[in-house]
A = this chain, B = another copy of it.
Amino acid sequence: MTGIQKAACIGGGVIGGAWAARFLLGGIDVSMYDPHPQAERIVGEVLANAERAYAMLTTAPLPPKGKLTFYKTIEEAVHGADWIQESVPERVDLKRGVLTQIDAAADPKALIGSSTSGIMPTELQRDMKHPERMFVAHPYNPVYLLPLAELVGGTKTSPETLELAKARLAPIGMIGVILKKEIEAFVGDRLLEAVWREGLWLIHDDICDTETLDDVIRYSFGIRWAQMGMFETYRIAGGEAGMRHFLAQFGPCLSWPWTKLTDVVDLDDALVDKIAGQSDAQSGARGIRELERIRDENLVGIMQALKGADGGKGWGAGKILGDFEKHLWAKGGAKKDHLDPSAPLRLIDTKVSPAWVDYNGHMTEHRYLQVFGDTSDALLRLIGVDFAYVEAGHSYYTVETHIRHLGEAKLGTKLYATLQLLSTDDKRIRFFTTIHDAETGDALATAEQLMLHVDSKAGKSVAAPADVLARLAPIAQAHAALPVPEGVGRSVGQKR
> What per-residue 1/0 map shows which CB atoms of A428-471 lie under 8 Å from chain B?
10100000000000000000111000001000000000000000
Number of chain A residues whose Cβ lies closer than 8 Å to a Cβ of chain B: 190
Select A256's contact among B184, B239, B368, beta carbons within 8 Å.
Answer: B184
Q: Are A146 and B305 in contact (CB under 8 A)?
A: no
A sample of 12 more A-B contacts (CB under 8 A), given A175-B219, A193-B198, is A55-B350, A55-B353, A61-B335, A142-B299, A145-B303, A191-B195, A194-B261, A213-B230, A222-B224, A301-B309, A366-B367, A399-B405
Q: Which 8 A-B pairs have the closest CB atoms?
A: A214-B229, A222-B225, A61-B332, A301-B305, A173-B324, A148-B219, A226-B226, A211-B282
- Which B residues are in CB contact (< 8 Å) with A262? 261-263
Interface centre among A146, A174, A494 (most CB of B within 10 A): A146
Q: Are B229 and A215 in contact (CB under 8 A)?
A: yes
Q: Known contacts being A147-B219, A308-B301, is A449 close to B260, with CB within 8 Å?
A: no
CB distance from A444 to the nearest CB of B (A): 12
Give 11 CB contacts A-B under 8 Å.
A56-B354, A118-B256, A147-B320, A178-B212, A194-B197, A195-B195, A214-B228, A222-B224, A226-B317, A302-B302, A302-B306
- Which B residues are in CB contact (< 8 Å) with A191? 195, 198-199, 213, 216-217, 221
User: Is A158 in contact with chain B by the CB < 8 A criterion?
Assistant: no
- A361: nearest residue on chain B (CB-CB)? B311
- Which B residues are in CB contact (< 8 Å) with A56? 296-297, 300, 351, 353-354
Q: Known contacts being A303-B57, A321-B147, A398-B365, is A170 close to B327, with CB within 8 Å?
A: yes
- A202: nearest residue on chain B (CB-CB)? B187
User: Is A271 in contact with chain B by the CB < 8 A criterion?
Assistant: yes
> What per-residue 1/0 map shows which CB atoms of A342-353 lie under 8 Å from chain B?
000000101101
Q: Known contacts being A261-B197, A302-B226, is A59 close to B374, with CB within 8 Å?
A: yes
Q: Are A310 and B58 in contact (CB under 8 A)?
A: no
- A374: nearest residue on chain B (CB-CB)? B59
CB distance from A291 to the nearest CB of B (A): 11
Q: Are B197 and A265 in contact (CB under 8 A)?
A: yes
Those of A297-334 within 8 Å (CB) of chain B: 297-306, 308-313, 315-317, 320-321, 323-325, 327-329, 331-333
